[in-house]
Amino acid sequence: MQHIRNVKTTVILKNIPKTVIHSDIRRLLAQNRINSAQEVFLECHRFIPTGKAFVTFANAAQATEALEVLKKTRMAGRPIEVAATQDTTKPRQRGREGKEAAADRGAITGNGLDGGVTDHGTGVVVYGLPGKMKEEAIAKLVANVGVRLQGGEWTRTNVIKVPLPAGSSRTSRFYVRTDSKEDANRLVRRLHMTPYTWGGKEEFKQGFTTRAQIVY
């Protein structure tokens, strides 16, 4: 992770809709004639947006000017809260070996800016499935709905089981890297809010509802 250390050049937007994506924030900045923004990040918890965005600027003067303008704005009918951020981190670009190492040590948690990943629109979080479900089963599920994984074949970098919070084991969560934005959209359309049955003997089967959401 790279640190954003100069809090005077980074602005945090709070109370934004959790359905907002990066382009929505860019559009808001453009509508308010803020053209100096460098990067936009969405804060996530286990790959689900928290309703906060971070915008970085080249210098303190640009950040201060943007801060004053954004204090007066609304998004989806709600007032935006703005402030200078504390020291935080942004996702790091990883090559194949870096992705493998991150997956092996359980570093892909979905927490932080952009969930700690840089796939932007091709990654999907799939959750609500049985807690003991394995990556290979998810890869088969993805293939069965006609979606291509990043790189084609299943690897430990394109289907990653997200570590469970302490004391939670009934359901599992996976981060799936698909081969394209079209594949990501298809995966969500085919899986979101669909039933999934888990168990051997009929009397022990449990019903689960699969949920899927694109990570922007």
CATH number, domain 119-215, options 3.30.470.20, 3.40.50.1220, 3.30.70.330, 3.30.200.20:
3.30.70.330
Contact 158, 138 (CB under 8 A): no
Which pLDDT score is estimated for 164? Answer: 80
Which pLDDT score is estimated for 103? Answer: 55
Alpha-helical segments (H) within the chain? 22-31, 60-70, 96-104, 135-144, 181-191
More confident residue, 105 or 61: 61
% the chain with pLDDT above 90: 68
pLDDT in tens, 87-119: 556 665 555 555 555 555 557 899 999 999 999
First to last CA, the chain: 18
- Give the mean pLDDT of the chain: 86
β-bridge mates for residue 208, sequence order: 196
C-alpha span between 46 and 162 (Å, rounded)? 8
Domain boundaries, the chain: 2-90, 119-215
pLDDT in tens, 152-169: 999 989 999 998 877 666
Report strand pairing: 81-84 vs 10-14: antiparallel
Which pLDDT score is estimated for 200? Answer: 56
Tokens of 106: 């359980």
Contact 54, 10 (CB under 8 A): yes
Which pLDDT score is estimated for 85? Answer: 74
C-alpha span between 188 and 175 (Å, rounded)? 12
- Matching CATH topology for 2-90 and 119-215? yes
Is the pLDDT at 197 greater than 80, yes or no? no
What topology does CATH give the domain 2-90? Answer: Alpha-Beta Plaits (3.30.70)
C-alpha span between 28 and 150 (Å, rounded)? 32
C-alpha span between 63 and 69 (Å, rounded)? 10
pLDDT in tens, 115-139: 999 998 999 999 999 988 999 999 9
